[in-house]
Structure 1
Amino acid sequence: MSTLEPVEITAGSLHLRPWRPGDADAVFAVCQDPEIQRWTTIPSPYHRDDATGFVDGRSPANWATGTAAQFAVVDATSGELLASVGLQDLRDPAGHPGVAPGGDGEVGYWCAATARGRGVVTSAVEVLCRWGFGPLELARIRWIALTGNEASRRVAVKAGFAIDPAPRSLPHPRDGVIANFWTGVLLP
């Protein structure tokens, strides 16, 4: 399994950086948003321990194992937390866990309520995907969202993902209940 060296990327007014322990309070506050809990796979209800476990444990471990690269999206000037973007479920060309040239990954994101409608997530996803296709040399990036999550779909379309015309019935990652998902793919 490959490791991923954490990187920071500044693109205009946005700065993408790995999560830091000091981010837990901001993550906890933002993830109280019912829309984030409704449409993402974060635990619901979302507790302070969930935020701490993510920024202190899971995110650094994912970088270390090369299985995911999760970024805080902050305002490049003020440092305000605006969103989260990441490449998760990174796999080598044979489908084994871990990043490798020719492999793939799945994009995931959420946006703080205060940053919605400003193009923050679309810009961050575009930057993330350029990094995924550039230095990581991924062959494709997958996207998935619960049907009805129009905001996520708009981001994916604007970022260039080809959306499959028919939803797929899949187990929801949070509880295993079968639900309908939109899926898409982005190629370099």
Structure 2
Amino acid sequence: MPELDLDESTVLHGRGLVLRTWLPEDLDALLEACQDPEIQHWTPLPSPYLPEHAELFLDACALRWVHGLASFAILDRDETCLLGSIGFVGLPEDGVVEVGYWVAPSARGRGVATAATGVICDWAFGTLEFNRVEWQAYVGNEGSRRVAERCGFTFEGTLRGRGYQRGEYRDIWIAGLLRSDGRPDVPDATGHQSAGS
């Protein structure tokens, strides 16, 4: 694998979505989305999620990219609406990266997480030449697990006490997708089969 050199100006288009780095103008939409109890329950985000948390997140975006933590806002095709977040979580290792995502309540049920995961996996395997993309979620996060399965990830087990959220250790599910694995044709975010766009 070549040396990882991520560029925060990267914009990914595909499956009816645009993935681009977070910008200061995303503050209000980010803050609103992260009030959602489901996002707070299934992620390590602060709870309650306050304006200063959103500001710190946006201020740290460039530094995360420097360290290999690509972080994208998920937008609709016209880039008018924030639908969610996706990116690399945990520092990439030799040939291995972990993907994480959440979807705003107003965008759920439209295939946004599945489409965005397909786009970022295409990029991770194609442009960045990773060998393996990992997915992890707190045990019980069935929605996130369905997304991973739709994208072709193979469930590999439970890591006991591997997660840590607000002072509590939690069990984690783990799944993996290899560059050599056959992958399903992931629909775009409107439910139509992708033509590779």
TM-score, normalization by structure 1: 0.88
Partner of 1:146: 138
**Match 1:136 to one of 124, 128, 141:** 128
Question: Larger RCO: Structure 1 or Structure 2 (Cα < 8 Å, ≥ 6 residues apart)?
Answer: 2
**Match 1:23 to one of 23, 26, 32:** 26
Q: Which amino acid letter does the alignment assign opposite residue 143 of structure 2?
A: A
Give the alignment of 1:56-71 within 5 angstroms. 56-57=59-60, 59-66=61-68, 68-71=69-72
* Over 6 Å off, 4+ runs: none
Q: Which amino acid letter does the alignment assign opposite residue 63 of structure 1?
A: W
Partner of 1:155: 147
Runs of at least 5 residues in structure 2 that lack an aligned partner in the other structure = 180-197
Distance 2:58 2:162 in 1: 26
Conserved 8 A contact 2:162-2:172: no
Distance 2:6 2:79 in 1: 27
Distance 2:101 2:39 in 1: 10
What RMSD in Å do the two structures reach over aligned CA positions? 1.6
Runs of at least 5 residues in structure 1 that lack an aligned partner in the other structure = 94-102
Conserved 8 A contact 2:86-2:100: yes
1:172 is paired with a residue whose SS is: strand
Distance 1:9 1:91 in 2: 19
Aligned pair count reads 176
TM-score, normalization by structure 2: 0.84
Tell me how far 1:3 sits from its aligned partner.
4.0
Conserved 8 A contact 1:13-1:77: no
Conserved 8 A contact 2:96-2:130: yes
Partner of 1:49: 52
